[in-house]
Structure 1
Amino acid sequence: MNPCFFYLLPSLLLIGFAFQSFGEAYETKPLACVLVEEIGGGGSSIPRTIRQTPVELHLIDPLNLIPEAPITSSPETLHLHVTDPSGKLLSPRLSSCEVTYLLPQEVPLAWVRSLTEEKRSPRALGHPWYSLSVKDDASGNTVSAVLGPQGEEDDKLTVFLAVYSTSATLYARLGDPLYVPCGFWRGQQFRSAIEWRHRALGDGKVLYAYDGRLDRIEEIFPGYEMNFSTLQSQGNASLLVDKVAVSDHGTFLCTIYLPYIRAQRDMQLEVTALPTVTFLPNPLFARPNEEITLSCEASHFHPLEISVELLRRLPGDSQFSVLPGVSLSTHTLNKDGTFSLTASLSIIASPEHHGARYFCRVRHISVPEGVTRSNTLHVAGVAGLSLEDGMYLFAVALALYGSLTFLHRKFKLVIGIHESKKDE
């Protein structure tokens, strides 16, 4: 056997594994999608309706090494054969696929206008174009792509632009910095523009706008930046938020513009702020059968939804009981956009409840394990002094002794000065 064969064997195996992996990527079954169209509405009296057409997306092997699977779906299904040079549609776990028709057109924005200033659109714009949105349910990755014609056949398409993010929902603590991910693939098209918007409760604003052709920042909102070191080399258009505020709660939209086409990813941001919990009175002392009010305040939390409970554990008992009749105040809106709430309950300090432990338990999305504060009820004259009673009285006596000593020294000093003046 030729000795050169042994030197070539590792390379041959590597090539074989590469072709096997390549083939597996294209042997997956077609991606099931839905084409969403708005139809009707030709007159004011005719309502618009939504029509959904089943679509099967067939990924084309660009090297023609893998034969296409036979079509077995119903005749009503629209079949689109797509070449994906971006590689973003090759995951076998993609789902939640939606397709819409796209009309390529100019965009009258200052940071996009330079992309089409020649006013000469390519011939391919006369063929059908589509917007595609897919999600990887396992990882949460989402992809938006623009599909355009490849040749003269309307069902043969290729990816012209892909915009992707690692998650559709982000969580951030109030006051922390934030990285909002957004990547893009644009092939050989170097004319591009980037726009970041924020939308919440019907209001929207531009956070960042960059004209890539002119290399010029057109809009920038204080506290938001982009990392230009990885923008061109890696297609990284992620947004950097200096310090998260409650006003950032809502939807971030990353839009990438190419001449006449665009793709967008939206990410929902949930801003959370941990509640500060205060349970009063502390310490919990009362006379026999005295009525006292327990007050538990949860302050500076976000978002609004919160649960506050008061519980009790009697001496010698290992079980907790939820106390009924708790009164909740209305939510107070703080200057920083967070909320505060107080739960209160009046109890009778009966002697048999001496040593009972009272708890305030707060549940909020910012603290999955919850926050608990507790106080022990001490009823005067019951069962003598406990260790906690003794420690408390000792601390009071020590503070009183220190105060009296300080006043005594001050008094002696004043008397001494007064007598010295009389002697003079």
Structure 2
Amino acid sequence: MAAGLRLLLAGLCWSQFRVKDAASSPPPPAPIRCALLDGVGRGGALPGGGNTRPALLRFGGDAETPPEPGPEPEVTFNISDPWGALTPLGVPPRTPPSCELNPTNPQTGSAPWSRPLHPDARSPPTAGGQWWVAAVGTPQYGATALLQGGTNTEGTITAAVSLAVLTHTPTLHGHAGSPIHLHCAFAAPPSPFVLEWRHQSRGAGQVLLAYDSTSARAPRATPGAELLLGTRDGDGVTAVTLRLARPSPGDEGTYICSVFLPHGHAQTVLQLSVFAPPKVILSPKNLVVTPGMSAELRCHVSGFYPLDVTVTWQRRAEKSRPSRSTGGSVMDSWTSSHRRAADGTYSRTAAARLVPAHPQHHGDVYSCVVTHGALDKPIRVSVRLLLAGTEGPHLEDITGLFLVAFILCGLIRWLYPKAARPEEETKVTSPPRNPKYPQKPQIPPQNTSKHPKTHHSHPTLQPSVSCRNHSDLHSSSQHLSSR
């Protein structure tokens, strides 16, 4: 009986542990509704056209979140996804993904760099059975998986992901001249692989980069395209991101990341949009108009992509603050057609002819306002109309001249400090005298010559005067009288 009690307690503890473990585990992903195409496509290719039937992809058994509302599925796929390539699309909160299923026959691909994977150009023996390509995606995530079928029952198919190519950037927006990373990764069992990046635009396509893991070499590489090859992490996912160092408008278009394995291949699609902001020049820079004459403004807009651009004219009167449309101040305006440059950017010119200038137009500000998709806010370039001979300088001009003069004065005092100071007065001091022995007055010498001389004019001798006080003069007079 004691043994039975111990078994009962152990069973209760185990049941509580299972309940706690089930409560702590995350809920399984929600099913994904798909459109199953009846036609058989190429191995690993994107789904094509044909008749479709509603299908459902389930992950993790029956205890799942209910799928999005939709038609009753005719076929249900129980998917085994060991790398979790498709499960992020079913984890809430989520955007209902688009999904298409297409039956396929696995192939190694026809590219010359993928032939070494199978010299006999045949699928391996393990590629028997049913195969499908599942293409699912949202604006933030996209994946293409190669599914290998297992056991089938009526209306239910068991399948496993054998290769998945995914991206976190299915839609990109980049600026011309700034590096862009086109993310791509694949999940598969360890095996040799070949990677191919292809660019398609305006009906033409080219291979930008090809990489062979067996030789660790790139048999095809285009200048400006770099491969950021990541190591295989613990989840079995390998990054094969493409980096465009200096993209231009010509790099806009569709990018296809294809991965070839010995048992098949899969690919995912990315869309890249390139933007180039415009440069705006308004001429003339100084708008000085003679009274009664008209002037023409030209707004040159260049270097922008795509070609959708809007150019408008605005006028702000001298005594009004808000800008408004030019209205009656413009006689005529026109805009040129788009001109395409060698780098793929566009340019165009807008012009406005003003009405004859009058005194009330003096000081009006005319602006060229450019709006483009590559700009966060419109570009505004302005010029002030000045009527020749109307009035003197404005208060702003006088203030500016005063500041310039003040700065120049300070600069001169700093560079030439001696020149900026007044000369110091020189002090004349007489030599020191001894009060006991005062100086004798100097008597000019007399002419003692015996021979009289002719009359000559002698300069008048001025007695030297020294600055002394009255006491010194008195003592000197007493000294002479005693002698």
| TM-score tier after normalising by the smaller chain length | 0.7 to 0.9
Q: Which residue of 2 aligns with 1:143?
A: 143
Q: Provide the C-alpha distance between the structure 2 equivalents of 1:74 and 1:55, rounded to a whole number of angstroms.
A: 9
Out of 194-203 and 90-99, give the one that drifted further: 90-99
1:320 is aligned, of 299, 320, 323, to 323
1:360 CA displacement: 0.9
Residues 138-164 of structure 1: CA deviation (Å, up to 9, x unaligned):
xx1111111111356671001111111
Match of 2:339 in 1: 332
Match of 2:350 in 1: 343
Q: TM-score, normalised by structure 1?
A: 0.77
Give the count of matched residue pairs.
366
Question: What amino acid does structure 2 have at the position aligned with 1:343?
Answer: A
Taking the aligned partners of 2:369 and 2:308, their CA distance within structure 1 comes to 14
Structure 1: tracts of 5 or more residues without a match: 1-8, 40-47, 395-424
Between 79-88 and 124-133, report the one with greater CA deviation: 124-133
Q: Aligned partners of 1:74, 1:328: CA distance in 2, in Å?
A: 53
- Percent identity reads 30
The letter of the residue matching 1:132 is A
For residues 333 and 34 of structure 2, what CA distance do their matches in structure 1 show?
Answer: 51
- Are the equivalent residues in 1 in contact too, given 2:115–2:121 (CA < 8 A)? no
Taking the aligned partners of 2:66 and 2:179, their CA distance within structure 1 comes to 51
The aligned runs of 1:155-170 (5 Å cut-off) are 155-170=157-172
Q: Which structure would you say has the larger Rg?
A: 2
Corresponding position: 1:56 with 2:56 = yes
Provide the C-alpha distance between the structure 2 equivalents of 1:16 and 1:368, rounded to a whole number of angstroms: 53
Question: In the TM superposition, what are the counterparts of 1:17-416 in structure 2 within 5 Å?
Answer: 19-20=22-23, 22-26=25-29, 28=30, 30-37=31-38, 50-61=50-61, 67=63, 77-91=74-88, 92=91, 93=94, 95-118=97-120, 121-122=123-124, 125-137=127-139, 140-151=140-151, 155-186=157-188, 188-228=189-229, 230-233=230-233, 234-323=237-326, 325-348=332-355, 349-387=357-395
Equivalent residues of 2:134, 2:145 under 8 A apart: yes
Please give the alpha-carbon distance, in whole angstroms, between the structure 1 residues aligned to 2:183 and 2:77. Answer: 29
Partner SS for 1:369: coil
Q: Is the 8 A contact 2:108 2:260 kept in 1?
A: no
Unaligned 5+ segments in structure 2 are: 1-12, 41-47, 403-483
Q: Quick one: distance in 1 between partners of 2:348 and 2:398?
A: 35
* Alpha-carbon distance change, 358 to 36 in structure 1, aligned in 2, over 3 angstroms: farther
1:268 partner letter = Q
Which amino acid in the other structure matches residue 301 of structure 1?
F
Q: Hey, which of these two has a bigger chunk of strand by percent?
A: 1
SS of the aligned residue for 1:288 comes to: coil
- 1:244 aligned counterpart, secondary structure: coil
C-alpha contact (below 8 Å) 1:197/1:252 kept by paired residues: yes
SS in 1 for 2:99: strand
- Corresponding position of 1:400: none
* Alignment deviations for residues 321-343 of structure 1 (CA, whole Å, 9 cap, x no partner): 22365311111222222111111
Match of 2:250, SS?
A: helix
TM-score by length of 2: 0.68
Pair 305,58 (structure 1): closer, same or farther in 2 beyond 3 Å: same
- What does residue 438 of structure 2 align with? none
